[in-house]
Structure 1
Amino acid sequence: MSRTALILPVRNAGRHLDRLLPALAAQSLRPDEWLVLDSESSDDSKARLLAAGASVVSVRAADFNHGGTRRLASELCRAEVLIYLTQDAIPADPDALRRLRDAVLAEDDIGVAYGRQLPQPDAGLLGAHARRFNYPPLSRTKRLADAAELGIKTCFSSDSFAAYRHAALKAVGGFPADVIGTEDAHVAGRLLLAGWAVRYEADARVHHSHDYGLLEEMRRYFDIGVFYGRERWIAQHFGRAGGEGRRFLRSELAAVRGAGQPWRQPEVLLRSALKLTGYRLGHAERWLPPALKRRLSLFPGYWK
């Protein structure tokens, strides 16, 4: 069986470790390597992860980059399968890692497999709906030929819980060294264009969701807009996100009505307008001064 590495970027993860460490200890798959990249945590994260058996590499917080840091991790690991997990993604059952590892190896052309993300137990209505919309209960393998049907969703993936075939990752040049985020879609798109497949494995599950405030949502979409504005090849090959955004908006409006909260429909519309504003500002970021970009971004350190 192929060697497997578990890769976990962290920063001040203490509040998540009470759930994450027992969930990892209960896994039926024991990774051959466990690498933690710690970005100058000021809590006891590093000590707790070392005590749990992880190898910890320190990364300066000022040097953290969603693509570059994951690229560093891939270069430090020798395993054939690299499982990336974020500190707030909690395996939902003891077979989560094994099922994801098995999914990326199920067919010879699968380059990456990503798992299903369930809402956190305390998730709000909209945060939970976003997870159900993007992570359905049925698995699917996506190939380049599916772009005509799926559009931008063809290269949708998530490094919150994803397993890469190391050889495939290397074959497409690895993670981008400098990217504000959405590095998972970048790599998935490169894999698809190179003939590899992307697997969504609904049976490999973690609890992972966010309840973003209105301004947080706008800032998050500013960063997404920056990414897609710079990586225009994705739209050329897979289409734009507009149609998917309209479908999500309709589903959100239906979700609040179905939950007996129709008074939240104006909030949903305002949230959608702010996301669109953030996305368009991000797309036009080359015209904005650095000080404004730092204020608009969820990752102001990126604009150092």
Structure 2
Amino acid sequence: MKKVSIILPVYNGEEYLNNLIPKIRNQQLDMEIEIIAAVSKSKDNSLLVADNLCDITYSVGNFNHAKTRHEAVLKSSGEYLVFITQDITPFNEYWLHNLITPLLEGKEIVATYSRQIAYNESSYTEELVRKFNYPNYDRVCNKNTKVKWGRKNIFYSDASSATTRAVFLNLGGYDFEIETNEDVIFALNVIESGKSILYNSNSKIYHSHDFRIREVFERYKLIGSFEQKYKDQLKDYSSLGEGKKLLFYLTTALIKKFKIKELFLLGIDMPTRYIGYKIGYKKAIQRNYK
């Protein structure tokens, strides 16, 4: 029987694990499932809970978005690798089957990622953001679709993604240190290798965040720093146009629903993203000249 290894970074995740792991075990999949929990130092019982529920559990000294995931892969044994975050919830018992199946059907698609649906308690704005980024139709992305999809051509999320072990390791995996967007680097490597990524709308999870303004600012500082560091690789994938499309989409939808409070908050949120991005980008340039 083939095996799929689920790579799961954990931090203060006790409440998530008790809900998530049984739903993973309940997936309708004709493969053995192996769950590897990489647990960072937490204030709750994450390590104990993970040790009871997962197949391989170990403590992480210094968490890094890329390196930690790569080290977890090296502890795994599955032919297929699935990367998730602790705060997702599978939409149904076919999430994993639908995510993995395209990898079995041919050699062209070597990486897939799931459709994300906002949790019921999320704001209407966050619901719209998820619909904008994760529509109800598939996207196949490769070297030939750069113009068609723009920045979405390398949009990829390891909140729920899958690839084969062979492809992951052959492309270098996550064997590097980075503060954010490790999944974008992997997507770039897949595209440049001549293979395809599938945005897989049939594989669905619940996943969303209503960030505070300070959290938004810090998040986009990291994104700005990332985009400056990898500006050469990203030169064909401008994020500015995608940001404008998102702003127009959100503003139009909120006006139609007469969501005055959320329009006001959007008027704070979007400039905060832009300012954070610019500061992060500028600081990265300054670091390069030191």
TM-score, scaled to structure 2? 0.93
Task: Name the structure 2 match of 1:96.
Answer: 95
Task: Name the structure 2 match of 1:166.
Answer: 165
- Does the Cα contact within 8 Å between 1:176 and 1:183 map onto a contact in 2? no
Residue pairs, 1:239-278, within 5 angstroms: 239-278=237-276
Shift of 1:89: 0.7
Task: Name the structure 1 match of 2:132.
Answer: 133
More deviation in 95-104 or 14-23? Answer: 14-23
SS in 2 for 1:57: strand
**Structure 1, unpaired ranges of 5+:** 290-304
Shift of 1:107: 2.5
Residue pairs, 1:285-296, within 5 angstroms: 285-286=283-284
Residue pairs, 1:171-182, within 5 angstroms: 171-182=170-181
More deviation in 253-262 or 117-126? Answer: 253-262
- Does the Cα contact within 8 Å between 1:226 and 1:282 map onto a contact in 2? yes
Q: Which AA in structure 2 matches 1:22?
A: P
Aligned mates of 1:31, 1:258 — CA distance in 2? 47
Residue pairs, 1:197-216, within 5 angstroms: 197-216=196-215
Q: 1:248 to 1:211 in 2, by over 3 A?
A: same
Shift of 1:270: 2.3
Q: Which AA in structure 2 matches 1:37?
A: A
Task: Name the structure 2 match of 1:116.
Answer: 115
Q: Which AA in structure 1 matches 2:161?
A: A
Shift of 1:263: 4.9
- Does the Cα contact within 8 Å between 1:104 and 1:199 map onto a contact in 2? no
Aligned mates of 2:4, 2:37 — CA distance in 1? 14
Q: Which AA in structure 1 matches 2:257?
A: A
- Does the Cα contact within 8 Å between 2:140 and 2:197 map onto a contact in 1? yes
Residue pairs, 1:1-304, within 5 angstroms: 2-29=2-29, 31-60=32-61, 63-236=62-235, 238-286=236-284
Aligned mates of 2:285, 2:238 — CA distance in 1? 21
Aligned mates of 2:270, 2:129 — CA distance in 1? 13
Q: 1:25 to 1:171 in 2, by over 3 A?
A: closer
- Structure 1 runs of 4+ aligned residues shifted over 6 Å read none
Aligned mates of 1:12, 1:265 — CA distance in 2? 32
More deviation in 241-250 or 206-215? Answer: 206-215
Aligned length: 286
Q: 1:17 to 1:259 in 2, by over 3 A?
A: farther
Q: 1:191 to 1:179 in 2, by over 3 A?
A: same
Aligned mates of 1:80, 1:18 — CA distance in 2? 26
Task: Name the structure 2 match of 1:300.
Answer: none
Aligned mates of 2:84, 2:32 — CA distance in 1? 13
Task: Give the superposed CA RMSD.
Answer: 1.7
More deviation in 14-23 or 162-171? Answer: 14-23
Identical columns (%): 26
Aligned mates of 1:154, 1:105 — CA distance in 2? 22
- C-alpha deviations, 1:60-102, integer Å up to 9, x for none? 1xx1100111111122223221001100011110111111111
- Does the Cα contact within 8 Å between 1:3 and 1:32 map onto a contact in 2? yes
**Structure 2, unpaired ranges of 5+:** none
Q: Which AA in structure 1 matches 2:83?
A: Y
Aligned mates of 2:234, 2:130 — CA distance in 1? 23
Shift of 1:266: 3.6
Q: Which AA in structure 1 matches 2:245?
A: R
Q: Which AA in structure 1 matches 2:240?
A: G
Aligned mates of 1:181, 1:54 — CA distance in 2? 27
Shift of 1:170: 1.6
Aligned mates of 2:91, 2:221 — CA distance in 1? 31
More deviation in 20-29 or 202-211? Answer: 20-29
SS in 1 for 2:72: helix
TM-score, scaled to structure 1? 0.89
Aligned mates of 2:151, 2:15 — CA distance in 1? 34
